[in-house]
């Protein structure tokens, strides 16, 4: 923590939990403490059955500037260069897997700089709402590194190989409008409407059948690495699970009664 202040805050409103990156003095750059607190917050949200959707946002002038290069976890007492691979395995790799494997939707609310590993964390969210001020830059090459935090996995799948190569090799910033045009974000709104838009999307997702959303999320991620037969079998297994939920019973009842369903997430 910095000065006793938590670097990550989690708040709950109804069935939506909001996780805020809270190092505004460092543009929410990630250090070891912030990783550990984010891991704990993600575990808390995943375990809370009352939480049916999660919003991830940043305090201050931007979402995240990526890694804090002054982080003490990146230093070695003997003065030798740190093993960045080991650092990734206990930090960003854990974060990204927790977000992807959480069987609840995660919405990113993005404004200002979304740089470096911040791009990876944003891409690990299931949907992304961007303010007009948002700027995206895959900055790793500018300090002699390759993309990490899941960027090499997500970016080509989201924007295509050619665009991903350009963003990763040149590191040029992309504004919110351009990011929306090639699918990096789902929607763009004026800055003053960002919180409202992200919260509204989260409430809408939270009102849907949570178990079904979890299976949708799992099957779409798995589709990147599977053939048709595997996808069809995954659908069959997932549908077996969804068909035994109370939300399926409610959905069918609402269909025949010609009313809006009232899903409980069970």
Q: Using one digit for the tens of pLDDT, what is the confidence trace for 234-254?
A: 888 888 888 889 888 888 888
Instruction: Please state, in angstroms and rounded to a whole number, the distance separating the CA atoms of residues 228 and 244.
Output: 25
Question: 69-85, pLDDT tens digit by residue?
Answer: 887 777 666 667 778 88
Which of 58, 59, 88 lies closest to 71, judged by CA? 88
pLDDT per position as a tens digit, 179-224:
999 999 999 999 999 999 999 999 999 999 999 999 999 999 999 8
Which tokens hold the place of 226?
């599977």
The mean pLDDT of 134-141, rounded to a whole number, is: 96
Average pLDDT of the segment spanning 147-155: 95
Round to whole Å and give the CA distance between 189 and 217. 25
Give domain limits for the chain: 8-206, 210-257
Check: CATH 1.25.40 for 210-257?
Answer: no
- Domain 8-206 class, CATH top level: alpha beta
Is pTM beyond 0.75? Reply is: yes
pLDDT of residue 150: 96
Q: What percent of the chain clears pLDDT 70, i.e. is strictly above it? A: 97
Report the 3 state secondary structure along the chain. Answer: CECCECCEEEEEECCEEEEEECCHHHCCCECHHHHHHHHHHHHHHHHCCCCCEEEEEECCCCCECCECCCCHHHCCCCCCCCCHHHHHHHCHHHHHHHHHHCCCCEEEEECCEEECHHHHHHHCCCEEEEECCCEEECCHHHHCCCCCCCHHHHHHHHHCHHHHHHHHHHCCCEEHHHHHHCCCCCEEECHHHHHHHHHHHHHHHHCCCHHHHHHHHHHHHHHHHCCHHHHHHHHHHHHHHHCCCHHHHHHHHHHHHCCCCCCCCC
The predicted pLDDT at position 78 comes to 65
Between β-strands 106-110 and 127-131, what pairing exists: parallel, antiparallel or unpaired? parallel
């Amino acid at each position: 923590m910095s000065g006793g202040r938590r670097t990550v805050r989690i708040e709950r409103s109804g069935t939506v939990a909001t996780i805020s990156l809270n190092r505004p003095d460092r543009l929410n750059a990630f250090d070891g403490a912030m990783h550990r607190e984010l891991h704990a917050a993600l575990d808390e949200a995943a375990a809370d059955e009352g939480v049916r959707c999660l919003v991830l946002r940043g305090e201050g002038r931007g979402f995240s500037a990526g890694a804090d290069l002054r982080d003490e976890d990146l230093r070695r007492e003997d003065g030798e260069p740190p093993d960045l691979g080991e650092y990734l395995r206990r930090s960003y790799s854990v974060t990204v897997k927790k977000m992807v494997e959480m069987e609840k939707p995660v919405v990113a609310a993005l404004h200002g700089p979304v740089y470096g590993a911040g791009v990876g964390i944003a891409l690990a969210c299931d949907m992304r709402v961007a303010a007009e001020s948002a700027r995206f830059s895959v900055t790793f090459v500018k300090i002699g590194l390759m993309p990490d935090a899941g960027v090499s996995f997500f970016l080509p799948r989201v924007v295509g190989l050619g665009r991903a190569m350009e963003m990763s090799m040149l590191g040029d910033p992309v504004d919110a409008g351009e990011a929306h045009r090639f699918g990096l974000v789902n929607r763009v709104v004026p800055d003053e409407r960002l919180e409202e838009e992200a919260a509204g999307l989260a409430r809408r997702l939270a009102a849907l059948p949570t178990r079904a959303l979890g299976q949708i999320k799992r099957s779409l991620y798995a589709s990147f690495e599977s053939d048709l037969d595997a996808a069809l079998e995954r659908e069959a297994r997932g549908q077996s699970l969804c068909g035994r939920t109370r939300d399926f019973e409610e959905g069918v009842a609402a269909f025949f009664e010609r009313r809006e369903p009232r899903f409980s997430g069970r």
